[in-house]
């Protein structure tokens, strides 16, 4: 719950606390996460799919406290590395409710997943089918698996985050016949139980067409496979990918209910539906706060406003050309707008957070800038480039604030070195 106090906007309050108080207590840069918003977004998905499964895509943002929220909201968790699996365990999630993804899980990661009793492993290659078969046999268990299929749907999104095309590194191509072969091999392995088929076509998707097309192709493939082998395949997991709004005027994505309705229409009623939303849950919950350090005017060129973070805490503008907005959040201003480029503190010119942004002309050192919709793929993709320490995540709710990820310290960094 974000709200402005005072005239002409005044100070921004998050979860009932003013940003100046938050910055004074926790420092900047800082990610401020609205806990109730996170839970409300979990509930939206949960309610959209009461008879199915909602696996939160942990890659968007994960820490033990988030795992506890997911648990309380009745969501399962999708992890794609041993590290994410360790956080799931640390947060107390029952491993049976964890789905394990990844195109190159190591033998050690798979062994640990099997030992922990991970609910489902999404197999991604023939090598992995063999590897997992051996490990499950050794452990004397039958491991439930889904088969990741690339259904040949290219989502309208940045090429680095589109994953459903035939040329993807992920999964088994439907069009090239590899998916059918994967079904054959899994069914031939007594140590594996085919729990379902999986696809994920991409991320930051704002129209329903791609989801519906993937659902139709995957349903047809499921029915073909059942017919060919005389088996029942109980589940179809159609992945995540629903986009969010970053700036006023961005395309408004459909709601979780609308996405589920589009999927449900294409999928036979008896097939259990699963989804894996990440960004659409975590993204809108969080505001990134920065402090302005310098304002530089270059005659004939423009204005640079430098903040105390940058590409290390938000690599998305540099990596994907992602467009954000920012507002002065610490005070009211009557000054007219003036265009500025908001840049970070890193030693390269590509370290731009927001281009051509109208900010009050009197923006000055000490002002706090707020960047909304900063909850997904920002803290989780943050780096230590230039030996900066990664910012903390503060959960706010009903006027109180608590650290759920603490700020890194220079000692944390120095500890790595011999
Ligand atoms: N399931 C699978 C198998 C995935 O690969 C992903 C995301 C998700 C679910 C969650 O998707 P979401 O609902 O969050 O779109 N770093 C990029 C996004 C990469 C997404 C990777 N896979 C970015 O910052 O835009």
102-149 pLDDT, tens digit per residue, is 999 999 999 999 999 999 999 999 999 999 999 999 999 999 999 999
Task: Quickly count helices (H) and strands (E) in the chain.
Answer: 12, 21
- CA-CA distance, 362 to 379, in Å (whole number)? 30
Show which residues are catalytic.
Answer: 347
- CA-CA distance, 375 to 71, in Å (whole number)? 19
Predicted local distance difference test score (pLDDT) of residue 164: 67
Q: Which residue numbers belong to the known binding site for substrate?
A: 279, 316, 320, 348, 377
**For 15-40, how does the pLDDT look when each residue is reduced to its tens digit (9 = 90+)?**
999 999 999 999 999 999 999 999 99
**Which of 118-122, 151-155, 202-206, 238-242 has the lowest average pLDDT?**
151-155
**For 269-328, how does the pLDDT look when each residue is reduced to its tens digit (9 = 90+)?**
999 999 999 999 999 999 999 999 999 999 999 999 999 999 999 999 999 999 999 999
Predicted local distance difference test score (pLDDT) of residue 130: 98
Right CATH for 2-32+284-414 from 3.20.10.10, 2.60.40.3470, 2.40.37.10, 3.40.630.30 = 2.40.37.10
Q: Which residue numbers belong to the known binding site?
A: 241, 276-279, 316, 320, 348, 377
- ipTM (interface predicted TM): 0.99
* Domain 2-32+284-414 identical in fold to domain 35-280: no
**For 192-201, how does the pLDDT look when each residue is reduced to its tens digit (9 = 90+)?**
999 999 999 9
Mean pLDDT of 187-209: 96
CA 196-72-236 angle, to 5 degrees, is 10
378 lines ligand 1 (CB under 6 A): no
Ligand 1 centroid, distance to 325 Cα (angstroms):
22
Give yes or no for residue 372 having a pLDDT over 70. yes
Predicted local distance difference test score (pLDDT) of residue 183: 98
Give the rounded percent of residues in the chain with a pLDDT score beyond 90. 93
Predicted local distance difference test score (pLDDT) of residue 371: 98
- CA-CA distance, 182 to 174, in Å (whole number)? 10
Which of helix, strand or coil describes residue 11? strand
Mean pLDDT of 56-63: 98
4 lines ligand 1 (CB under 6 A): no
Higher model confidence: residue 195 or residue 2?
195
Ligand 1 centroid, distance to 100 Cα (angstroms):
14
Give yes or no for residue 161 having a pLDDT over 70. no
Whole-model pTM?
0.97
Atom of ligand 1 nearest to the CA of 277: 13
Domain range 35-280, CATH architecture:
Alpha-Beta Barrel (3.20)
- CA-CA distance, 73 to 75, in Å (whole number)? 6
Residues 393 and 385: beta-carbon distance below 8 Å: no
Residue extents of the structural domains in the chain: 2-32+284-414, 35-280
Predicted local distance difference test score (pLDDT) of residue 160: 56
């Amino acid at each position: 719950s974000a709200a402005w106090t005072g005239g002409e906007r005044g100070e921004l309050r998050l979860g009932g606390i003013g940003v100046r108080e938050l910055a004074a207590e926790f420092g900047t840069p800082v990610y401020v996460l609205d806990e109730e918003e996170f839970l409300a977004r979990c509930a939206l998905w949960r309610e959209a799919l009461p008879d199915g499964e909602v696996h939160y895509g942990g890659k968007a943002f994960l820490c033990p406290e988030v795992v506890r929220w997911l648990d309380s909201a009745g969501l399962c968790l999708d992890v794609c590395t041993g590290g994410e699996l360790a956080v799931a365990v640390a947060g107390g999630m029952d491993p049976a409710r964890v789905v394990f993804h990844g195109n190159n899980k190591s033998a050690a990661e798979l062994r640990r997943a099997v030992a922990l009793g991970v609910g489902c492993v999404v197999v991604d290659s023939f090598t992995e089918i063999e590897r997992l078969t051996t490990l499950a046999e050794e452990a004397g268990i039958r491991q439930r698996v889904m088969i990741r299929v690339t259904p040949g749907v290219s989502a309208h999104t940045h090429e680095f985050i589109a994953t459903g095309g035939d040329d993807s590194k992920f999964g088994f191509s439907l069009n090239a016949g590899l998916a059918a072969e994967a079904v054959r091999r899994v069914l031939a392995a007594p140590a594996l139980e085919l729990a379902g088929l999986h696809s994920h076509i991409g991320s930051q998707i704002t129209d329903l067409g791609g989801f519906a097309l993937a659902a139709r192709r995957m349903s047809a493939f499921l029915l073909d496979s059942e017919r060919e082998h005389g088996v029942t395949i109980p589940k179809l997991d159609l992945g995540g990918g629903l986009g969010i709004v970053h700036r006023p005027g961005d395309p408004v994505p459909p709601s979780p209910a609308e996405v589920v309705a589009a999927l449900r229409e294409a999928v036979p009623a008896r097939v259990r539906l699963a989804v894996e939303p990440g960004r659409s849950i975590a993204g809108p919950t969080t505001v990134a706060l920065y402090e302005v350090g310098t304002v530089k005017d270059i005659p004939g060129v423009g204005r640079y406003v430098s903040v105390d973070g940058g590409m290390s805490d938000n690599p998305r503008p540099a990596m994907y050309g992602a467009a954000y907005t920012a507002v002065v959040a610490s005070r009211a201003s009557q000054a007219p707008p003036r265009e500025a480029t908001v840049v970070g503190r890193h030693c390269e010119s590509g370290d731009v957070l927001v281009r051509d942004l109208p900010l009050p002309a009197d923006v000055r050192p000490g002002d706090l800038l707020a960047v909304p919709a900063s909850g997904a793929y920002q803290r989780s993709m943050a780096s230590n480039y230039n030996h900066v320490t990664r910012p903390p995540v503060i959960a706010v709710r009903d006027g109180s604030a608590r650290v759920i990820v603490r700020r890194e310290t220079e000692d944390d960094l120095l500890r790595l070195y011999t």
